[in-house]
Amino acid sequence: MKQKIGITCYPTVGGSGVVATELGKLLAERGHEVHFISTSLPFRLNKTYSNIYYHEVEVNQYEVFQYPPYSLTLASKMAEVIKREKLDIMHVHYAVPHAVCALLAKDMVDHDVKVVTTLHGTDITVLGHDPSLRDIIRYAIERSDKVTAVSKALATQTVDMLQTERPIEAVYNFIDERVYRPQMSDEDLRESFEIPKENKVIIHISNFRPVKRVLDVVNAFAGINKETPATLLMIGDGPEKQLACQRAEELGIEDRVLFVGNQNHVVDFLNISDLMLLLSEKESFGLSALEAMACGVPVIGTDAGGIPEVIVHNQTGYICEIGDTEGAGKAGAYLLKNPGLYQSFSEAAKKRIKDVFSSANIVKQYESIYDDAREGG
């Protein structure tokens, strides 16, 4: 059934915004009418797409208010768009504030729109611990027509933490396989960063928040580098970048660790990489691991949240305990020094993407959730 779908996400760099935008693009390609309602154009909407509309939420600052009224302005814009465009579905990413805004908007209009909420993690694993927000998160989940979570781990954790009754369906993240695919290693890119020919390239991509444990990434890399010459590419930016730079200096490996900053075309970096490190202490899914695997790059991850649902231990990478940098370093070096084993991991990673995380597979799951929501199922 073709639907008119509103999508709200945080439009800036971040996994949830990426997933929401890529989903919108796929839905539009499949003939649905998609309306993005957000504060700025989602950064992945970088060309013109038919069937995609964008409604900007302009949040003004008023002297009388201490904080700009983002949630109210958003709810009001959602109501306006639902009413004018006769939306069938409002698909919101994050329970707070976005699902709450959608529920308010639904209440404001005389039109039967269904609210589908996708949980991405921070709304549960961080905000869910805040007693001042627990009840409103629970409300957002219970009142949504359908709720999805990006991993089984997150779905279970949500029920355990908030004792919600509304079923939460795990729908995994996906990648656009037209973009994330193995390509010939770009020698010019390697040369421009002066990466010696004999070095293996290890990559980490994140927002450098404390949960990403970037110091562990540098420590684990140091272990790999002791056994086989390597370069660490640190992609992204955030609060712990400076600490990670310092740790590299303390370990005397600063010339081996390149802080490349935020990048629009991470696929180019993935295609010159041999291994990814994702050593987070909280990670409801780990989209960057998926992107790496799609390019045939095995991943060493922690046993946090949904990471073990993405990486199959001993097949597409290794799972180690949170904080076990020695184990992660040893596992990484072992894999890199065994070409036959490495090749089988790389192939298994690509196969897993095709089998489990293909965009076609995931978009169909969302379509059937929308259909069920419309039919009251």
- Please give the residue ranges that form the binding site for ligand GMT (CB under 6 A): 14-16, 19, 120-122, 125, 150, 173, 207, 209, 211, 282-287, 305
Q: How far is the CB of 58 from ligand GMT (least distance, A)?
A: 22
The phi and psi torsions of 82 (rounded to 5 degrees) equal -55, -45
Assess contact for 86 and 4: CB atoms under 8 A.
Answer: yes
Q: Which of helix, strand or coil describes residue 250?
A: helix
Q: How far is the CB of 206 from ligand GMT (least distance, A)?
A: 7
Q: Which residues lie below 8 Å from residue 137, measured CB to CB, with a gap of 6+? A: 95, 96, 123, 124, 127, 128, 162
Q: How far is the CB of 279 from ligand GMT (least distance, A)?
A: 12
In terms of CB distance, is 111 or 134 closer to ligand GMT?
134
In terms of CB distance, is 18 or 333 closer to ligand GMT?
18
In terms of CB distance, is 204 or 256 closer to ligand GMT?
204
Q: How far is the CB of 40 from ligand GMT (least distance, A)?
A: 15
Q: d(Cα 18, Cα 182) in Å, to the nearest integer?
A: 20
Assess contact for 259 and 234: CB atoms under 8 A.
Answer: yes
In terms of CB distance, is 120 or 200 closer to ligand GMT?
120
CA dist list (Å): 309 to 180, 255, 281:
19, 34, 15
Q: How far is the CB of 150 from ligand GMT (least distance, A)?
A: 4
Q: d(Cα 190, Cα 188) in Å, to the nearest integer?
A: 5
Q: d(Cα 219, Cα 199) in Å, to the nearest integer?
A: 17
Q: How far is the CB of 19 from ligand GMT (least distance, A)?
A: 5
Q: State the DSSP H helix or E strand holding residue 165, giving kind and residue range, or none if neither.
A: none
In terms of CB distance, is 125 or 219 closer to ligand GMT?
125
In terms of CB distance, is 16 or 325 closer to ligand GMT?
16
